[in-house]
Amino acid sequence: MLLSGCSSTPSSVAPVSAVTPSSKPSHIAKKPTPQVNFVNVYQEWKGTPYRLGGTTKRGIDCSAFVQVGYADVYQTMLPRTTSELAKVGQWVSRNKARYGDLVFFKTGYRTRHVGIYIGNDEFLHASTSQGVIVSRLDNPYWRRTFWQIRRMPTAR
């Protein structure tokens, strides 16, 4: 049996400014991009505490946060657990990662963690120690536990 709970996060957190959308003036109304939408998801959930099995603002786990983010941005429902998510979509090499790809980590013998890649080596996730935050893939902890990146069919 594979456990798919989320893991603790080291204390370094990416600055909030790293996920704010650019504010270029536009004379034509455009459909919000996934980048802007994931920023909105982050702003809405930022600081929500971690709770294993949680799916609400009172507490959410990593796979539920991914599920909520995808439902908001792509209007699609992904599987609920990290182990199920790790079987969906297409494997992508780290240097080909793009907004909306899911990043997976092996954080323990049978424990997995998942987040949403937002570019610039950063990802959104629900951390067991800090709740919903932005972290960097080049952080030593995440670099050491990195497992894979997967592109979901709806994010192509």
Domain ranges of the chain: 33-155
Question: What is the average pLDDT score of the chain?
Answer: 85
Q: Which residue matches tokens 């980590």?
A: 105
Say yes or no to pLDDT of 4 above 60: no
The pLDDT of residue 154 is 81
Say yes or no to pLDDT of 12 above 60: no
Q: 14, 19, 60, 62: which one is catalytic?
A: 62
- Tokens linked to 138: 């080049």
Say yes or no to pLDDT of 106 above 70: yes
| pLDDT per residue as tens digits for the range 69-101 | 999 999 999 999 999 999 999 999 999 999 999
Q: 113, 136, 150, 151: which one is catalytic?
A: 113
Instruction: Please answer whether residues 149 and 92 qualify as being in contact, where contact means their C-beta atoms are separated by less than 8 angstroms.
Output: yes
Say yes or no to pLDDT of 11 above 60: no
Band of residue 1 on the pLDDT scale cut at 50, 70, 90: very low
d(CA 37, CA 49): 21
Q: What is the mean pLDDT of residues 49-61?
A: 98
**Among candidate residues 10, 17, 6, 9, the one with its CA nearest the CA of residue 120:** 17
113 in catalytic set: yes
The highest-level CATH class for domain 33-155 is alpha beta
Q: What is the mean pLDDT of residues 50-68?
A: 98
Q: 6, 64, 68, 125: which one is catalytic?
A: 125
Global pTM value: 0.81
d(CA 116, CA 69): 8
* Strand, helix or coil for residue 12: coil
Greater confidence, 3 or 87?
87
